[in-house]
Amino acid sequence: MIKVAGLVLAAGASTRMGRPKQLLSLAGLNLLDRILGEALKSELDLIVLVLGHHSREIKESLKTESHHPKLQIIENKNYRDGISSSIITGLSEVEDSYENVMIILGDIPLINSNLINLLIHQYQNSRLALGAIKLKNRRTHPVIFGRMFYDEIHQLQGDVGARGLFEKYPAQVCLVEPEDDYDDRDIDTPEDYLKFKKLLSL
């Protein structure tokens, strides 16, 4: 099995929510604990949690064991520069030791360990260098990339993730369809939060 490090990106300022969405309560867990728990249950070899805005408050509020052997928590001091800065900050922590990196957004509540494992396995079997979940004929998160793209990742700027790589190198892309129903909606606004609270209480 290939070694894969996961970057959980949770550095944003939650401006549309008006409060740190990482700490929103969903079915007894806050949003970030929920995602971390699934990532830590998965076959990812290491989880790097990238914090930024309100990093101290968020870290102190986590129920996830901060000393878990698979978890490393770091701070992106340049989080105001957009998601690219968090990807680069996380990649810089793992690139010497890991040939593959998965990006997991910290505001998609229904990402789970089975989905993460499915992406790892099919990506490995494909022998391609880019992988992503495919949902209703579109690419979505999580995504995974190999070492051959590390240099280009370091060149990212602004509030842009790795989607440009998928457009630039279509022949290197492995798209993976979920085996179960998967809702990839994220939480950005109070309205989004209320919808998920209702969904998870059913």
180 vs 90, higher pLDDT: 90
Is the pLDDT at 35 greater than 60? The verdict is yes
- With bands split at pLDDT 50, 70 and 90, how would you rate the model's confidence at 88? very high
Opening angle at CA 101, ends 100 and 106, nearest 5 = 165
The strand ranges marked E within the chain are: 4-10, 25-26, 29-30, 46-51, 71-75, 100-105, 130-135, 138-146, 173-176
Domains in the chain, CATH or no CATH each:
4-201 (3.90.550.10)
Sheet with strand 71-75: strands edge to edge: 71-75, 46-51, 4-10, 100-105, 138-146, 130-135, 173-176
Tell me how far apart the alpha carbons of residues 29 and 147 are, in angstroms, rounded to a whole number. 34
**How far is residue 179 from each of residues 103, 145, 172, measured CA to CA in Å?**
20, 21, 22
pLDDT digits (tens, 9 = 90+) for 61-70: 999 988 899 9
pLDDT in tens, 112-143: 999 999 999 999 999 999 999 999 889 999 99
Confidence of residue 4 (pLDDT cuts 50, 70, 90): very high
pTM: 0.96
Residues 73-85 have pLDDT tens digits of 999 999 999 999 9
Tokens of 104: 């997991």
d(CA 62, CA 167) in angstroms, rounded, equals 36
Structure tokens at 106: 């910290």
CA distance 146 to 153: 10
Q: What is the mean pLDDT of residues 31-50?
A: 97
